[in-house]
Protein backbone atom coordinates (compact mmCIF):
# COMPACT_ATOMS: atom_id res chain seq x y z
CA UNK A 1 0.00 0.00 0.00
CA UNK A 2 1.32 3.43 -0.95
CA UNK A 3 1.67 5.99 1.88
CA UNK A 4 -0.36 9.19 2.19
CA UNK A 5 2.47 11.60 1.34
CA UNK A 6 3.27 9.91 -1.94
CA UNK A 7 -0.43 9.61 -2.73
CA UNK A 8 -0.83 13.39 -2.36
CA UNK A 9 1.97 13.95 -4.81
CA UNK A 10 0.54 11.51 -7.32
CA UNK A 11 -3.03 12.77 -7.02
CA UNK A 12 -2.61 15.53 -9.59
CA UNK A 13 -1.03 13.14 -12.05
CA UNK A 14 -3.78 10.58 -11.46
CA UNK A 15 -6.58 13.09 -12.03
CA UNK A 16 -5.01 14.60 -15.13
CA UNK A 17 -4.27 11.14 -16.56
CA UNK A 18 -7.77 9.82 -16.00
CA UNK A 19 -9.29 12.93 -17.57
CA UNK A 20 -7.09 12.56 -20.61
CA UNK A 21 -9.50 9.94 -21.91
CA UNK A 22 -12.56 12.18 -21.61
CA UNK A 23 -14.69 14.18 -19.17
CA UNK A 24 -15.79 12.54 -15.92
CA UNK A 25 -17.66 13.57 -12.80
CA UNK A 26 -16.07 13.24 -9.36
CA UNK A 27 -17.49 9.89 -8.35
CA UNK A 28 -16.67 8.26 -11.70
CA UNK A 29 -13.17 9.74 -11.54
CA UNK A 30 -12.51 8.25 -8.09
CA UNK A 31 -13.82 4.84 -9.19
CA UNK A 32 -11.81 4.87 -12.41
CA UNK A 33 -8.59 5.73 -10.54
CA UNK A 34 -9.22 3.00 -7.96
CA UNK A 35 -9.91 0.43 -10.68
CA UNK A 36 -6.95 1.36 -12.85
CA UNK A 37 -4.48 1.36 -9.93
CA UNK A 38 -6.00 -1.86 -8.54
CA UNK A 39 -6.88 -0.09 -5.30
CA UNK A 40 -3.41 1.39 -4.68
CA UNK A 41 -4.84 4.91 -5.08
CA UNK A 42 -8.19 5.51 -3.41
CA UNK A 43 -9.78 8.95 -3.40
CA UNK A 44 -12.27 9.72 -0.67
CA UNK A 45 -14.75 12.53 -1.14
CA UNK A 46 -12.71 14.61 1.33
CA UNK A 47 -9.51 14.18 -0.65
CA UNK A 48 -10.91 14.44 -4.13
CA UNK A 49 -12.99 17.63 -4.23
CA UNK A 50 -10.54 20.08 -2.62
CA UNK A 51 -7.97 18.76 -5.11
CA UNK A 52 -10.38 19.19 -8.05
CA UNK A 53 -11.25 22.74 -6.96
CA UNK A 54 -7.59 23.65 -6.61
CA UNK A 55 -6.80 22.25 -10.05
CA UNK A 56 -9.76 24.14 -11.47
CA UNK A 57 -8.42 27.37 -9.97
CA UNK A 58 -5.13 26.69 -11.71
CA UNK A 59 -7.11 26.18 -14.92
CA UNK A 60 -5.78 22.69 -15.49
CA UNK A 61 -9.33 21.30 -15.55
CA UNK A 62 -12.76 22.83 -16.14
CA UNK A 63 -16.01 21.73 -14.54
CA UNK A 64 -19.44 22.12 -16.10
CA UNK A 65 -22.87 20.81 -15.20
CA UNK A 66 -24.39 18.10 -17.32
CA UNK A 67 -26.54 15.00 -17.09
CA UNK A 68 -24.97 11.66 -16.22
CA UNK A 69 -25.85 8.27 -17.74
CA UNK A 70 -28.45 7.71 -14.97
CA UNK A 71 -30.14 11.01 -15.77
CA UNK A 72 -28.89 12.90 -12.73
CA UNK A 73 -27.34 16.38 -12.77
CA UNK A 74 -23.60 16.02 -12.23
CA UNK A 75 -20.60 18.30 -12.56
CA UNK A 76 -18.23 16.89 -15.15
CA UNK A 77 -14.58 17.84 -15.37
CA UNK A 78 -12.56 17.98 -18.54
CA UNK A 79 -8.90 18.61 -19.20
CA UNK A 80 -8.04 22.12 -20.44
CA UNK A 81 -5.18 22.82 -22.88
CA UNK A 82 -3.17 24.07 -19.86
CA UNK A 83 -3.84 20.79 -18.04
CA UNK A 84 -2.84 18.76 -21.07
CA UNK A 85 0.37 20.80 -21.25
CA UNK A 86 1.05 20.15 -17.55
CA UNK A 87 0.57 16.39 -17.89
CA UNK A 88 3.67 15.71 -19.95
CA UNK A 89 6.29 17.33 -17.62
CA UNK A 90 4.48 15.84 -14.62
CA UNK A 91 4.81 12.37 -16.13
CA UNK A 92 8.49 13.00 -16.84
CA UNK A 93 9.07 14.10 -13.26
CA UNK A 94 7.48 10.97 -11.85
CA UNK A 95 9.28 8.75 -14.36
CA UNK A 96 12.58 10.30 -13.24
CA UNK A 97 11.68 9.81 -9.58
CA UNK A 98 10.78 6.15 -10.06
CA UNK A 99 13.95 5.55 -12.11
CA UNK A 100 16.01 7.18 -9.37
CA UNK A 101 14.33 5.07 -6.70
CA UNK A 102 14.90 1.95 -8.78
CA UNK A 103 18.60 2.83 -9.14
CA UNK A 104 18.83 3.54 -5.43
CA UNK A 105 17.22 0.25 -4.54
CA UNK A 106 19.72 -1.60 -6.75
CA UNK A 107 22.63 0.20 -5.08
CA UNK A 108 21.21 -0.61 -1.66
CA UNK A 109 20.78 -4.27 -2.60
CA UNK A 110 24.33 -4.58 -3.94
Cα–Cα nearest to 44, from 59, 55, 33, 60: 33
Residue 7's H or E segment, with its range, is helix 4-19
Q: From the CB of 11, what's the least distance to another protein, in Å?
A: 12
Mapped onto helix, strand or coil, the DSSP state of residue 89 is helix
Q: Of the candidates 74, 79, 75, which has an alpha carbon nearest to the alpha carbon of residue 58?
A: 79
Of 7, 13, 34, 49, the one binding another protein (CB under 8 A) is: 49
The window from 5-13, 49-57, 83-91, 99-107 that contacts another protein (CB under 8 A) reads: 49-57
Among the listed residues 6, 8, 20, 54, the single contact to another protein using CB under 8 A: 54
27 touches another protein by CB under 8 A: yes
Q: Is 45 in the site for another protein (CB under 8 A)?
A: yes
Amino acid sequence: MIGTGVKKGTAELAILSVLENGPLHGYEMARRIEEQTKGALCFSLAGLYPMLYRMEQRRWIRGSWGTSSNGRRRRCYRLTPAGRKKLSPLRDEWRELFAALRRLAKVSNA
